[in-house]
Structure 1
Amino acid sequence: MPSDLADPPRLLLVEDEPELRRMLRELLTSEDYQVDEAPDGQRGLHLALTRDYELIILDRRLPGTDGLQLLGRLRSRGVVTPVLVLSALGNPADRVEGLDAGAEDYLSKPFDLNELLARLRALRRRHLDTARSLPLTIGRLDLDTRQVHTDSAEPVRLSERECSLLATLAGRPRQVYPRRDLLAIVFPEAESEVVVDTYVHYLRRKLGRQIVATVRGRGYQLGRL
């Protein structure tokens, strides 16, 4: 479920310059952000794929990789977290390239700290508004009402656990979730992975078999048309 704007936001900072990374960490933590740091693209990729963040700050020039290449890998793996790119490359063509690569915002170095904070606040507001409605192959999932809206039928109301399961899959639509991961995320108090299969059955019964795809030997992902 989306967090409230008053909750401390979790942010991933991918920056290889130690002094800039330290300065940004201190600034962001003073603004009540929970900051995870990555000094290179490999660590940044690992954290972004294994943890949930509301925002990512991504340096364009990283050791061994280009920040936009890392961004492309994240988007291809279904990570939709808003990304603000920081770069010394600040001409219009560079900004266009960054935005076309999947970034939500692009800020040239050197930058004003207050402007950075304002851009992060704006990205977070837009992200929270979008996160309350997740796209599905058959329509959209409204997280506030726990209803699935389609063009051809009345809204279908889900139980809290059905909604949490579907929201997890829809949040990263290209990712395949092993049953054990879904058990830990959606049903932390349960002991058997059978409960995951049971709730997948419930979703398919309410919304059609196409809503959740079975990836044989790997797990489940959001269904595709």
Structure 2
Amino acid sequence: MTGGHRRILVVEDDLETAGQLMEQLTASGYRVDLASSGNEALSHGAAHDYAVITIDRMLPDIDGIAVMRQLRDSGVAAPFLIISALGEVDDKVRGLRAGGDDYLVKPFSFLELLARLEALGRRSDTIAKETILRVGDLAIDLISRTATRRGREILLRPKEFQLLEYLVRNEDRIVSRAMLLHNVWDLHFDQSMNIIDVYVGRLRRKVDDQQAYPLIHTIRGVGYCLRAPG
């Protein structure tokens, strides 16, 4: 990260920790903004283009995971580094599945933090170039969170867009209902598994109806696959 790409948002409600992070990161050449609550993080995250956002899991108003989800739904593409005292494997898995790109457990070495920020910053530069994904005549814009087919916009709700993005990123791969439940809804198996079929049905009507060929295919007894004709 160089120049304008060195702007970081630190989301941390502990004033001592926040002060240390801001002082050390500023001394290391980063431009640092601070948010001490979830609402402040949402405001900052939507208003500025950050190379990386560091976020605590436990905030006084909105849980850090909920903040990440809301920022992702609003089109924020910056990588998230979760910094948390919650260090169990389940905590890390939940954070990463919810949209985190890396996870650092408190207490931590500042040198390790810097190394992780640099790695995420390099990834951020790469991700910034990949803002539109395409399959056949379908295109999804990861910044504006919009989808088009043959140039015509498809009106999608946020969860429908997340579902479509996951299918597009797994083009030509069979994805099971369990994979969708875990990666799109961050849920485990439960008796409402038919929510997947309902959402895929809605998405298929919006994406495939009145089109030259279908993109979303049902793999009977297994799950779904998004693919264009070969």
TM-score by length of 1: 0.62
Judge which range, 73-82 or 39-48, deviates more: 73-82
Match of 1:45 in 2: 42
- Establish whether residue 69 from structure 1 lines up as the match of residue 66 from structure 2: yes
Equivalent AA in structure 2 for residue 35 of structure 1: V
Which residue of structure 1 aligns with residue 143 of structure 2? 172
Equivalence for 1:209: 151
Count residues with an aligned counterpart. Answer: 155
Corresponding residue for residue 6 of structure 1: 2
Q: 2:79 aligned to 78, 82, 88, which one?
A: 82
Q: CA deviation at 1:214?
A: 9.2
SS of residue matched to 1:32: coil
- Structure 2 matches for 1:117-196, cutoff 5 A? 117-136=114-133, 138=134, 170=141, 172-174=143-145
Please, which of 99, 113, 118 is the counterpart of residue 116 of structure 1? 113
Deviation at 1:208, TM superposition (A): 5.4
Secondary structure, in 3 states, of the residue corresponding to 2:131?
strand
Residues 1:103 and 2:100 are matched in the alignment:
yes
Contact residue 131 and residue 143 of structure 2 kept, 8 A:
no
Quick one: distance in 2 between partners of 1:25 and 1:171? Answer: 30
Which consecutive aligned stretches of 4+ in structure 1 deviate over 4 angstroms post-superposition?
A: 212-215
SS at match of 1:172: coil
| Structure 2: unaligned runs, 5 residues or longer | 157-205, 208-230
Give, in angstroms, the shift of residue 69 of structure 1.
1.1
- Which residue number in structure 1 is paired with residue 160 of structure 2? none
Provide the identity percentage: 39
Query: Per-residue deviation at 1:171?
Result: 5.1
SS at match of 1:65: coil
| Corresponding position of 1:188 | none
Q: In 1, distance between residues paired with 2:141 and 2:109? A: 36
Q: What is residue 148 of structure 1 aligned with on the other side?
A: none
Aligned to 2:183: none
Q: What CA deviation, in whole Å up to 9, does each residue of 1:10-50 have, x standing for no partner?
A: 11111001111010001111111111111100011011012
Provide the secondary structure at the position in 1 that maps to 2:13.
coil
Q: Deviations over 1:100-133 (max 9, x none)?
A: 1100001100011100000000001112122223
Letter in 2 for 1:42: N
Distance 1:74 1:57 in 2: 13
